[in-house]
Amino acid sequence: MLFQRMLRAARLDASLYKELRREPLALTQGLVILFLACLAVAVGAGIREVGEGHSFGRGIAGGLVVMPGLWLIQAASAFFLGRVAIDPGQDKGSGKDLLAAILFSTAPGVFFLAFALPGDLGFWAATIVRFWMVFATAMAVRGTMDVPYYRGLIAAAPGFLLSQVLPGLSAA
């Protein structure tokens, strides 16, 4: 059941998020999906680090520390904008429903394993997954909050942009 839902989230199936509203285990399942996405980043980055002559642990640390932090920035933004910036007359669903949906939107993150691909191929594969996750987050907001897709993008995009800029600022 979990893997079928992950597939539906990755396929940007809006009906999934209506279903999750009635699922008491949705939040727990979403946390499992986030863990799997973080693990995929860790393993992919670890393999990439070994290929570049570094330690596997360096990639693991990035995947298990950095990925959840960046996800938290994006999720907090989508949650806040999804709950506050949507028209007051709209069916907002509960905060728990929206959080579970945002967690499910990390399902494409399992493809971060592709980060292990050599050279630029791994970089571009990971970039595609990042954007895929933005669209999945937008669909999660749309499906949970009953708003047009563009409003879901408005809720998802700022957190994504911030999560891409902050690591660069800290490295400077």
Q: Name residue 55's amino acid.
A: S
C-alpha distances in Å from residue 94, one per residue of 54, 74, 82, 127, 145 = 45, 19, 11, 31, 9
pLDDT of residue 89: 59
Structural contact between residues 145 and 86, judged by C-beta atoms closer than 8 angstroms: yes
Task: Assess if residue 1 is contained within a domain.
Answer: no
Task: Assess if residue 2 is contained within a domain.
Answer: no
Task: Assess if residue 83 is contained within a domain.
Answer: yes
| Residue labelled with tokens 């191929």 | 121
Total structural domains in the chain?
1
List the chain residues with pLDDT less than 70: 85-93, 166-172
Q: What is the C-alpha to C-alpha distance for residues 160 and 90, in angstroms, rounded to an integer? A: 24
Q: Domain range for residue 55?
A: 26-165
Task: Assess if residue 39 is contained within a domain.
Answer: yes
pLDDT of residue 170: 43
Task: Assess if residue 106 is contained within a domain.
Answer: yes
Task: Assess if residue 80 is contained within a domain.
Answer: yes
Task: Assess if residue 58 is contained within a domain.
Answer: yes
Q: Provide the strand spans (E) within the chain.
A: none
pTM for this prediction: 0.86
